[in-house]
């Protein structure tokens, strides 16, 4: 069993780390504002002073952090991971961050004689708890194979998609599709409800046709039942679509519907809903229509 670092024990990171721990891996993390879950500490999680100490104790270090600056700070800030790395160790960033910066981070880690994988995930809190995440990995094949058994403890669809940074590119593409599909389902249910139809029955009928999707199944039900407790917060989806729009500007690519969906998320945020589940995007359209789905 590996001596494993796991930095970022939030909504997603905690259940992911628990899967590793239950499989027998020895876990280390750094001191942070929030205390780790009792289940992790009861299982033997060691809380060390800083990321440097985690890098010194562990052979493989996972990161699951909110945004690019957070990853940069953990890697290269005072007491950062790179200060404790030694040749042969492996950093696996499972956060969703900018692809260009990911490649820059990997170069610096490799300069310390270590390797780097970017491995963002899709599936939300439910996927993290149930170990059914989709994991999109960028990096070399040898390092991927080294970590694959650990990935398979956390997810079901694990794919090496290319070089370092390509995992993040894939995650951004995923978030474009998810965001635009949430927007489409929201429009459809607002339209159906405003027209006088029962949105629940409309959703049920659509689930049997070509419009069927996981978003319609799960988030459509959330919209109807008003269950907006966060599985994946609006603020985080805003961050991901911002990565898409920044990348599009750098590449000279137009993403008009991504921009429109981001505007709807921004309307939700302006009304204090940043911490709701991203299915709550429907509320922006409901305000525009002056009509609730449910």
Q: Which residues are catalytic?
A: 171
**Matching residue, tokens 């952090």:** 65
State the DSSP string of 174-204: HHHHHHHHHHHHHHHHHHHHHTT--HHHHHH
Cα separation, 30 vs 187, in Å, equals: 44
Collapsed DSSP state (helix, strand, coil) of residue 63: strand
Tokens representing 44 are 């033997």
Cα distances (Å, whole numbers) of residue 92 to 6, 11, 63 = 9, 18, 6
Nearest to 151 by CA among 169, 175, 131: 131
Nearest to 234 by CA among 199, 188, 189, 283: 283
Nearest to 248 by CA among 126, 67, 38, 98: 98
DSSP H or E stretch at residue 121: strand 121-122
209: which residues sit within 8 A by CB, 6+ positions away?
none
Tokens representing 172 are 């951004």
């Amino acid at each position: 069993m590996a001596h494993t670092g796991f930095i970022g024990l939030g909504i997603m990171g905690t259940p992911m780390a628990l899967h590793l721990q239950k499989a027998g891996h020895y876990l280390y993390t750094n001191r942070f504002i929030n205390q780790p879950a009792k289940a992790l500490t009861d299982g033997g999680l060691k809380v060390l002073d800083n990321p440097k100490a985690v890098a010194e104790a562990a052979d493989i270090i996972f990161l699951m952090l909110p945004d690019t600056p957070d990853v940069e700070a953990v890697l290269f800030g005072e007491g950062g991971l790179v200060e404790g790395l030694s040749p042969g160790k492996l950093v696996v960033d499972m956060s969703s961050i900018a692809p260009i910066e990911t490649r820059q981070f990997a170069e610096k880690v490799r300069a310390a004689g270590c390797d780097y994988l970017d491995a963002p995930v899709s599936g939300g809190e439910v996927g993290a708890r149930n170990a059914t995440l989709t994991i999109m990995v960028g990096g070399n094949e040898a390092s991927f194979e080294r970590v694959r058994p650990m990935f398979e403890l956390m997810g079901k669809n694990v794919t090496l998609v290319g070089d370092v940074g390509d995992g993040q590119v894939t995650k951004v593409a995923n978030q474009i599709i998810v965001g635009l599909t949430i927007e489409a389902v929201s429009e459809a249910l607002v339209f159906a409800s405003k027209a006088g139809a029962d949105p629940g029955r409309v959703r049920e009928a659509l689930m049997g046709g070509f419009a069927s999707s996981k978003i319609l199944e799960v988030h459509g039900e959330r919209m109807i039942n008003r269950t907006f407790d966060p599985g994946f917060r609006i603020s985080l989806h805003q961050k991901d679509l911002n990565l898409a729009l920044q990348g599009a500007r750098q590449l000279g690519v137009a993403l008009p519907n991504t921009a429109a969906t981001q505007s709807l998320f921004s309307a939700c945020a302006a009304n204090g809903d940043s911490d709701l589940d991203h299915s709550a995007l429907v509320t922006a359209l409901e305000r525009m229509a002056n009509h609730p789905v449910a």
